[in-house]
């Protein structure tokens, strides 16, 4: 489908997210009169994504990175928060409807098999969205064949095949073509290369770089693989138990991280150098259960620098090493009363 | 030193009504006591099948073996079931990728560990329980006595993997087989479990075969690596040597396509194409269709070129490359 116009101009961020929140209520345990337990999956998440940029989102299981993606696509309805796409509020009567938004924002999932309909040929799969949005069938199929070629699959050879006849890497190429069929401007890639073998992952990463140029795309790249995020992102957002703990330019995050969690996460990467193996684990224990997260700073239970103030007050995102670098840690705030606050400032 | 485990020309085929899969096509290696061998490979390379073949864990009716697997001089292929059961969990133990499915959900962790000890060591219930508690302390599970009463679902992923290591070590094995044991864990937990395994290996003098697809993980734990492709070992040697000076084009491609930050802005040097179907036994070099150096000589099965200190590469170009 035809690509939609750039409405807001180059300076307008393509996506602004403000105070996004989703709490999933759980069943009350038997014989328990207390309040209903709640999973605070995403809590007050805010960020903005400039046009043509790639924002990498990292964090461990339960940090809310995938829920954030699903909230943006309205696959799950948010409890609160504003999403502004190219200057227009999503889901407001005076803004962009969810249906209009989905033409502009598309998603690629981790499981390449589960996200394709096993009964449709891959050409039908790719043409499905445009037809649903009103493109004549013949035209949609021609465009789908063209897209197949663009993602590196020969249309003559592949268009009549079914998903089970393809390898994982080929299926993920089909998923990318399907996501591009509506001519979106933003692609959400949720662990899109994580299930692929390394040699195939490299091919798909190269493809994503090419497509970004060709189609003038903006990426939200969610991954648990810190090396891949370092490679692909312009900016990086680090999440922990539903909160953004640090966000900033990729070189600042990887070179001058200020949040103890970001530092621990980066130091946990296995070494690629046989002479410099890891001697000590940067932090102990597992991430806590997102049901009833710790009070104040959610990372304090695993943080080597935790003090009383960390349990009492929740740290706010504030400017860190440079403009555009935000850190939510009391050590970054000279006025917080944390013993090490001045060291970081 | 006599090898703890010696595998010679191992072949494993899965025979089905519609098709046969040639999963392992002539694997040979030795493991010395106390040595850690990392087997590096992508899905379908035969790395997990090789590991499971050692313990006889493949579906018996569909699996056809050839070659030899000798543990302390005893041939394991064709060993009767009862003799194998005495070995499994006693002299040879295994840990898996998904600890949640490796434990029985209806028994406590403590019950499952003591059961193993009672069965293999012939000690009483009380002694076994004391040993189980020691084991949980050994793998650094906090408040071990309490944790013995926990069911698998009550533990976090990292704790369950520690408990599985405790179970594997229950009968003081000499050989530990690890099948991607940290792949399902979060980054900050993965490094803790890797370091724990490395420490226990050293303290107990275990021989370990560690299967992984992650070069970084192999670097953290192995002393020697074997790189597998399409059911064959294509390259092997001391870890640092292979990582710094890979000789086989597949090893080179695998290392080049492992992404890290310093490659930012550059196009990745990806290996084109995909691994071969294993429906037929390979003729010639399996990697040749994806190899930029392939030529006529690759139609014949490449010999094992041995060079340097304990290095081997299955590539017709290995001699000149090793010299370069």
Chain centroid, CA B214 distance in Å = 12
Q: Is B309 exposed, middle or buried (0-12, 13-18, 19+ CB in 10 A)?
A: exposed
Q: Do A201 and B257 touch (CB under 8 A)?
A: yes
Q: Do A272 and B216 touch (CB under 8 A)?
A: yes
Query: Which candidate from B159, B220, B270 shows the least CB-CB separation from A202?
Result: B270
Cα–Cα dist B217/B40, whole Å = 10
Cα–Cα dist B7/B76, whole Å = 10
pLDDT at A343: 57
Q: Do A226 and B187 touch (CB under 8 A)?
A: yes
- Can you spell out the DSSP letters for B110-125? HHHHHHHHHHHH---H
Q: Is A340 exposed, middle or buried (0-12, 13-18, 19+ CB in 10 A)?
A: middle
- Where are the alpha helices (H) located in chain A, listed in sequence order? 65-72, 98-104, 122-132, 137-150, 155-158, 168-180, 198-215, 226-232, 250-255, 260-267, 308-312, 341-344
Which residue in A has a C-alpha nearest to residue B251's C-alpha? A199
- Tens place of pLDDT per residue across chain B (324 aa): 589 999 999 999 999 888 899 999 999 999 999 999 999 999 889 999 999 999 999 999 999 999 999 999 999 998 988 888 888 888 999 999 887 788 999 999 999 999 999 988 889 999 999 999 999 999 999 889 999 999 999 998 889 999 999 999 999 999 999 999 998 899 999 999 999 999 999 999 999 999 999 999 999 999 999 999 999 999 999 999 999 999 999 999 999 988 877 788 889 988 998 888 898 888 899 999 999 999 899 999 999 999 998 999 999 988 777 776
**Percent of chain A scoring above 70 in pLDDT:** 98
Chain B closest-CA separation from residue A181 CA (Å): 25
Cα–Cα dist B223/B208, whole Å = 10
**Which tokens belong to B266?**
């550059």
- Considering only CA atoms, which of B5, B18, B19, B83 is closest in space to residue B50? B5
Domain ranges in chain B with CATH number 3.40.50.300: 5-91+174-186+203-260+268-323
Question: Which residue out of B220, B259, B290 would a mutagenesis test of the A interface target, given it has the greatest number of A Cβ atoms within 10 Å?
Answer: B259
Chain centroid, CA B123 distance in Å = 31
Cα–Cα dist B25/B276, whole Å = 13
Q: Is the dihedral of CA B162, B166, B168, B172 positive or negative?
A: positive
Residue window 119-138, chain B: list those with CB within 8 Å of chain A: none
Query: Which candidate from A203, A230, A274 shows the least CB-CB separation from B243?
Result: A274
Q: At what angle do helices B157-169 and B187-204 cross, to 10 degrees?
A: 10
Cα–Cα dist B186/B267, whole Å = 28
Tally Cβ neighbours within 10 Å of residue A335.
9
Neighbouring residues of B215: CB distance < 8 A, sequence distance ≥ 6: A198, A272, B40, B243, B254, B255, B258
Chain A closest-CA separation from residue B155 CA (Å): 10
Which residues in chain A have Cβ-Cβ distances shorter than 8 Å to B277? none
Task: Confirm if A179 and A187 have CB atoms less than 8 A apart.
Answer: yes
- Using a CB–CB cutoff of 8 Å, tell me whether B165 touches chain A: no
Which residues in chain A have Cβ-Cβ distances shorter than 8 Å to B216? 269-272
Task: Confirm if B18 and B205 have CB atoms less than 8 A apart.
Answer: no
Q: Do B220 and A278 touch (CB under 8 A)?
A: yes
Q: Do A282 and B188 touch (CB under 8 A)?
A: yes
pLDDT at B274: 85
Query: ipTM of this model?
Result: 0.89
Tell me how far CA of residue A114 lies from CA of A163, A179, A184, A322, in angstroms.
10, 15, 22, 42
Query: Which candidate from A60, A270, A275 shows the least CB-CB separation from B220?
Result: A270
Which residue in B has a C-alpha nearest to residue A61's C-alpha? B186
Phi, psi values for residue A106, rounded to 5°? -130, 160
Cα–Cα dist B228/B42, whole Å = 8
| Pairing verdict, β B36-40 and B224-229 | parallel
B5-91+174-186+203-260+268-323: CATH, from 2.40.70.10, 3.40.50.300, 2.60.120.260, 3.40.720.10 = 3.40.50.300
Which residues in chain A have Cβ-Cβ distances shorter than 8 Å to B263? 231
- The predicted-structure confidence for A136-183, as pLDDT tens digits, reads as follows 999 999 999 999 999 999 999 999 999 999 988 999 999 999 999 999
- Interface size between A and B, measured as CB pairs under 8 A: 127
Q: With bands split at pLDDT 50, 70 and 90, how would you rate the model's confidence at A342?
A: low
Helix (H) or strand (E) holding B203: helix B187-204
> Which letter, b or e, does each residue of B225-262 get, where b requires 16 or more Cβ atoms within 10 Å of its Cβ?
bbbbbbbbbbbbbbbebbbeebbbbbbbbbbbbbbebe
Neighbouring residues of B18: CB distance < 8 A, sequence distance ≥ 6: none
Query: Which candidate from B192, B216, B274 shows the least CB-CB separation from A271?
Result: B216
- Using a CB–CB cutoff of 8 Å, tell me whether B154 touches chain A: no
- Using a CB–CB cutoff of 8 Å, tell me whether A281 touches chain B: yes
pLDDT at A344: 47
Mean pLDDT on A290-312 = 93
Q: Do A209 and B158 touch (CB under 8 A)?
A: no
- Using a CB–CB cutoff of 8 Å, tell me whether A213 touches chain B: no
Cα–Cα dist A123/B95, whole Å = 43
- The predicted-structure confidence for A239-279, as pLDDT tens digits, reads as follows 999 999 999 999 999 999 999 999 999 999 999 899 999 99
């Amino acid at each position: 489908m035809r690509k939609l116009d750039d409405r807001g101009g180059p300076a307008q961020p393509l996506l602004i997210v403000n105070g996004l929140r989703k709490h999933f209520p759980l069943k009350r345990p038997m014989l328990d009169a207390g309040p209903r337990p709640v999973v605070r999956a995403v809590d007050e998440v805010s960020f903005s994504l400039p046009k043509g940029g790639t924002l990498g989102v990292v964090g461990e299981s339960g940090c809310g990175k995938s829920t954030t993606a699903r909230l943006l696509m309205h696959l799950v309805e948010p409890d609160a928060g504003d999403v502004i796409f190219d200057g227009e509020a999503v889901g407001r009567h005076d803004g962009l409807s969810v249906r209009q938004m989905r033409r502009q924002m598309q998603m690629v999932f981790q499981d390449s098999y589960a996200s394709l309909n096993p009964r449709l040929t891959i050409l039908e799969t790719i043409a499905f969205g445009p037809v649903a949005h009103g493109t004549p069938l013949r035209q949609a199929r021609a465009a789908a064949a063209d897209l197949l070629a663009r993602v590196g699959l020969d249309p003559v050879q592949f268009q009549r095949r079914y998903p089970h006849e393809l390898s994982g890497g080929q299926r993920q190429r089909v998923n990318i073509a399907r996501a591009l069929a509506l001519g979106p401007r933003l692609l959400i890639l949720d662990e899109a290369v994580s299930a692929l073998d390394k040699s195939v992952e490299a091919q798909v990463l190269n493809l994503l770089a090419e497509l970004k140029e060709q189609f003038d795309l903006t990426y939200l790249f969610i991954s648990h693989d810190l090396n891949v995020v370092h490679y692909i992102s312009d900016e990086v957002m680090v999440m922990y138990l539903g909160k953004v703990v640090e966000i900033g330019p990729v070189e600042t995050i990887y070179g001058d991280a200020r949040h103890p969690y970001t530092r621990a996460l980066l130091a946990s990467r296995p070494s690629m150098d046989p002479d410099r193996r890891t001697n000590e684990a940067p932090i102990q224990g597992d991430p806590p259960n997102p049901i009833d997260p710790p009070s104040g700073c959610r990372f304090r239970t695993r943080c080597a620098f935790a003090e009383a103030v960390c349990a009492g007050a929740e740290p706010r995102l504030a400017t860190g090493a440079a403009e555009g670098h935000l850190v939510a840690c009391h050590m970054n705030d000279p006025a917080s009363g944390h013993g090490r606050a001045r060291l970081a400032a | 030193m006599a090898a703890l485990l010696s595998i010679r020309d191992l072949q494993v085929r899965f025979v089905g009504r519609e098709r046969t899969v040639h999963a392992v096509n002539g694997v040979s290696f030795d493991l010395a006591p106390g040595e850690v061998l990392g087997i590096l490979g992508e899905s379908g390379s035969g790395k997990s099948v090789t590991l499971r073949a050692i313990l006889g864990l493949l579906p018996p009716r569909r699996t056809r073996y050839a070659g030899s697997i000798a543990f302390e001089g005893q041939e394991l292929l064709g060993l009767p079931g009862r003799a194998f059961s005495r070995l499994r969990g006693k002299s040879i133990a295994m840990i898996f990728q998904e600890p949640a499915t490796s434990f029985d959900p209806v028994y406590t962790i403590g019950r499952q560990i003591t059961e193993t000890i009672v069965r293999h060591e012939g000690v009483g219930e009380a002694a076994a329980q004391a040993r189980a508690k020691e084991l949980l302390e050994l793998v650094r599970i906090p408040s071990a006595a309490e944790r013995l009463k926990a069911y698998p679902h009550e533990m976090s992923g990292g704790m369950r993997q520690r408990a599985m290591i405790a179970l594997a070590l229950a009968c003081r094995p000499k050989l530990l087989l690890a099948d991607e044991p940290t792949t399902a864990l979060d980054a900050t937990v993965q490094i803790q479990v890797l370091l724990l395994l490395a420490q226990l290996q050293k303290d107990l003098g275990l021989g370990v075969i560690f299967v992984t697809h992650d070069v970084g993980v192999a670097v953290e734990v192995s002393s020697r690596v074997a790189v597998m492709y399409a059911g064959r070992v294509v390259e092997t040697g001391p870890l640092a040597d292979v990582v710094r000076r890979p000789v086989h084009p597949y090893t080179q491609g695998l290392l080049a396509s492992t992404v890290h930050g310093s490659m930012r802005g550059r196009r990745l040097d990806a290996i084109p194409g995909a691994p071969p179907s294993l429906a037929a036994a390979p003729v010639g070099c399996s990697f040749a269709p994806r190899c930029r150096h392939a030529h006529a000589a690759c139609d014949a099965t490449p010999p094992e070129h041995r060079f340097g200190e304990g290095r081997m590469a299955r590539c017709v170009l290995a001699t000149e490359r090793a010299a370069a």
